[in-house]
C-alpha cells in the first residue's frame, strides 16, 4: 500500500507518515515495480501500534523504545501511564484553581494579576508558620478578597485558617460570594472553613448569607446558620433551634437564641409551644435540656409549662422546673 492510500484509509496525514519514516519509527519496507516505497502488512501493524500508543500519551521517542524492546511489559507501561496521567491532572487542577483565584480578584491590568499571583505563591508555602506570618503582613484590598477566601477554604491548619479569617474580615463583604458557594461544597473541610469565615466577618451581609443555609443537610453548617437566622429574629428558625437543643448540638447557644427570640422579638408563645411538643418525644437527657431552655422565655405560657413539669415523673426534669420557677 502506497503512502497516499495509507493516509486516506488510516486518517494519518501523509506529512506525519513521512515524519515517521524520517525518524525511523515506521518505514515502508516494500517496493513497487516502479520503485515506490510500499507499506507491508507488518508495517501497517506497527503503524497502528504507534498510533495506539500515541493516544495513550506516549511521546514518539518513548514509542520507539517500547516497540523495539523485546522485554517490554504492557502492564508496566499502563501503570506508568496511569501515574503520569494522574500527575498531569493534578498539575492542571492546581493551575485551574490558581486561575480561578486570579479571576476572582477581578484584575484590570497585568500588575493586578502579578500582585495576586505573588500573594498566592507566598500563601501556598508548605510551612504553616510561614503562611501565618505572611497572612499577618498582608495588606489585602477588596479585589484580592475573593482570592484570599479561596486560599482560606483550602487551608489545612486550623490556627492558620483563623488568621486568614481575621485578615479576610478586614476586607468587609468582598469575599462573601466565594464563601457562600463553598457552603455547598462536596468537601466538608471547605464547608466548615466557609462557616467560620462568615461568622468571623460578622457583617449583616455575612450573617444574612449564612442564615440562608438554615436547612442545610450538614449539621456543621445548619447549626451556625440557625443561630445566625435566629439572630435576625426569624421565626422559621425556632423549630430548628429546638432541634439543636434536643440533639445536644450547640444546645446552650440554641437555648440562648430561643430566649432572645422570645424576649426581644416577641415569639414566646411559639417557642413555648415548640418546646412542649419536643418534650413529649425526647429522651430523658433531651427533656432536661428542653426544660432548661425555658429559663429565658418570659410570659405566662412558660410559667404554666414549668409548673406542670415541676411534678414530672423524671426527677431531673422536675427539679430543673422547680428551680427555674424559684428564679422568676
For the ranges 7-21, 116-130, 162-176, 190-204, the lowest mean pLDDT is seen at 116-130
Q: Is 101 exposed, middle or buried (0-12, 13-18, 19+ CB in 10 A)?
A: buried
Answer yes or no: pTM beyond 0.85. no
- Mean pLDDT across the stretch 9-16? 87
Cα 246 to its chain centre, rounded Å, is 29
Q: In the CATH scheme, what architecture does the domain 213-328 have?
A: Alpha Horseshoe (1.25)
For residue 309, give the C-alpha cell. Answer: 413539669
Q: Domain 3-72 adopts which CATH fold?
A: Multidrug-efflux Transporter Regulator; Chain: A; Domain 2 (1.10.1660)
**Among 216, 189, 293, 201, CA closest to 251:** 293
Which are the contacts of 31, defined by CB distance < 8 A and separation ≥ 6? Answer: 37, 38
More confident residue, 54 or 102: 54
With bands split at pLDDT 50, 70 and 90, how would you rate the model's confidence at 72? low
What is the sign, positive or negative, of the torsion defined by CA atoms of 70, 75, 78, 83? negative
**Could you tell me the residue ranges of all domains in the chain?**
3-72, 100-210, 213-328
Q: Which CATH number fits domain 100-210: 3.30.70, 1.25.10, 2.60.310, 3.40.50?
A: 1.25.10
157-209 pLDDT tens trace: 888 888 888 888 888 888 898 899 999 999 999 999 999 999 999 999 999 99
Q: Do the domains 100-210 and 213-328 sit in the same CATH topology, yes or no? A: yes
SS3 state at 31 = strand
For the ranges 40-44, 139-143, 289-293, the lowest mean pLDDT is seen at 139-143
pLDDT score for 230: 96
Amino acid at each position: 500500500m502506497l503512502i497516499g492510500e495509507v493516509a486516506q484509509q488510516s486518517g494519518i496525514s501523509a506529512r506525519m507518515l513521512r515524519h515517521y519514516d524520517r525518524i525511523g519509527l515506521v518505514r515502508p519496507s516494500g517496493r513497487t515495480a516502479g520503485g515506490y516505497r510500499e507499506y507491508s502488512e507488518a508495517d501497517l501493524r506497527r503503524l497502528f501500534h504507534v498510533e495506539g500508543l500515541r493516544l495513550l500519551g506516549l511521546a514518539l521517542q518513548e514509542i520507539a523504545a517500547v516497540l523495539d524492546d523485546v522485554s517490554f511489559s504492557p502492564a508496566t507501561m499502563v501503570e506508568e501511564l496511569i501515574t503520569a496521567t494522574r500527575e498531569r491532572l493534578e498539575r492542571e487542577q492546581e493551575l485551574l484553581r490558581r486561575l480561578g483565584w486570579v479571576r476572582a480578584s477581578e484584575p484590570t491590568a497585568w500588575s493586578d494579576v502579578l500582585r495576586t499571583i505573588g500573594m498566592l505563591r507566598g500563601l501556598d508555602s508548605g510551612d504553616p508558620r510561614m503562611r501565618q506570618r505572611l497572612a499577618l503582613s498582608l495588606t489585602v484590598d477588596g479585589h484580592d478578597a475573593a482570592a484570599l477566601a479561596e486560599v482560606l477554604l483550602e487551608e489545612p491548619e486550623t490556627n492558620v485558617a483563623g488568621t486568614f479569617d481575621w485578615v479576610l474580615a478586614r476586607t468587609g463583604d468582598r469575599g462573601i460570594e466565594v464563601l457562600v458557594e463553598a457552603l455547598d461544597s462536596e468537601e466538608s473541610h471547605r464547608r466548615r472553613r466557609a462557616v467560620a469565615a462568615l461568622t468571623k466577618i460578622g457583617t449583616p451581609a455575612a450573617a444574612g448569607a449564612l442564615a440562608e443555609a438554615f436547612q442545610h443537610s450538614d449539621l456543621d453548617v445548619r447549626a451556625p446558620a440557625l443561630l445566625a437566622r435566629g439572630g435576625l429574629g426569624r421565626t422559621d428558625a425556632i423549630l430548628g433551634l429546638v432541634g439543636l437543643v434536643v440533639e445536644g448540638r450547640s444546645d446552650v447557644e440554641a437555648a440562648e437564641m430561643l430566649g432572645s427570640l422570645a424576649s426581644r422579638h416577641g415569639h414566646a408563645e411559639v417557642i413555648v409551644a415548640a418546646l412542649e411538643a419536643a418534650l413529649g418525644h425526647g429522651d430523658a437527657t433531651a427533656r432536661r435540656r428542653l426544660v432548661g431552655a425555658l429559663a429565658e422565655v418570659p410570659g405566662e405560657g412558660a410559667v404554666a409549662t414549668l409548673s406542670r413539669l415541676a411534678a414530672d415523673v423524671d426527677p431531673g426534669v422536675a427539679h430543673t422546673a422547680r428551680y427555674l420557677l424559684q428564679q422568676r
